[in-house]
Amino acid sequence: MTYDQLMADGTARLKGAGIVNARLESRWLLAHVSGCQHSELISRGSDQVPEQTIAAFLDRLSRREGREPMQHILGTTEFYGLEFLSDARALIPRPDSEIVVETALECISREQPAFIADLGMGSGCLLAALLANRPLARGEGVEASDAAATLAGENLTRLGLADRSLVHRGSWTGWQNWAEADLIISNPPYIASAEIEGLMPEVREYDPMSALDGGKDGLDAYREIIGLAAQGMKQGAWLVFEIGFDQKEAVSALLDQAGFDEITCRKDLGGNDRSIAAKRPIV
């Protein structure tokens, strides 16, 4: 079988499984198992594929047909210009979250030291992106899942950020450094419980449920974090959240009621409300 034939067969199978970008994903999988660049696949299109490569491709193809996320199959994904390990231990870093990083970076100076905390850090992508772009900053991630905390630690280490970061294994309710942080960032679970069943299989069946389910109205984590932050954050510090596309008004109201000011919201590349920043006032 040639590379062209194998990729065509893969494309047909992925289309049959309901994968929208079937040809592109077939090419990704073939490039991954063959060790070829995408341009090489074109030039080698009529070459015969080694049996070992065919077997590896069909294995990955079968996994993708079952709607396992591409990021899990490849083992890595890119986020904010950095490469992260990605597997079932934590929520997959997604492009929509990059606007949350942009929002947070505007809250802290590149020229001054800062302490950043990431609540529910998952893969560590938010904290790592911030530390990579603020070389004088140090950070601490808070993660209740041991599996996710381990993955975050692996990512921080492979990105060369372990010397400026810590991973606190436990809930943010037991975390003690609220008053030290200049910036607290969080992408908490925010999907309403009744909406979980309607999510795409790649999300519903493979992302950790603890990273998705935000309770009856999707706001449980926001209420908890904002309540703790209102009591324990230092004055003048910033709180930055990722939010669901329809949660701007609700989360803004929670922040306002808790006494935060300078509340701003930004949209992602799809035009959906995605990040909220608020400041604990200096009184």
Query: According to the annotation, is 172 in a ligand binding site?
Result: yes
Distances (CA, A) of 217 to 38, 77, 117, 162, 261: 44, 30, 25, 36, 24
Q: At what angle do helices 3-16 and 22-34 cross, to 10 degrees?
A: 130
190 is in an annotated binding site: yes
- 31 contacts 41 by C-beta, under 8 angstroms: yes
Consult the annotation and say whether 34 binds a ligand: no
249 assigned binding-site residue: no
16 known ligand binder? no
Q: Is residue 189 annotated as involved in ligand binding?
A: yes
CA distance 260 to 193: 27
Q: Is 188 annotated as a binding residue?
A: yes
C-beta atoms surrounding 281 within 10 Å = 11
What single-letter DSSP state applies at residue 213?
Answer: B
User: DSSP 3-state helix, strand, coil percentages of the chain (rounded to 5)?
Assistant: 45, 20, 35
Token pair listed for 233: 């954050």
Q: Is 143 annotated as a binding residue?
A: yes
| 28 is annotated as contributing to ligand binding | no
The response to whether 93 counts as a known ligand-binding position is no
* Binding site members for substrate: 187-190
* Binding site members: 120-124, 143, 172, 187-190
* Binding site members for S-adenosyl-L-methionine: 120-124, 143, 172, 187
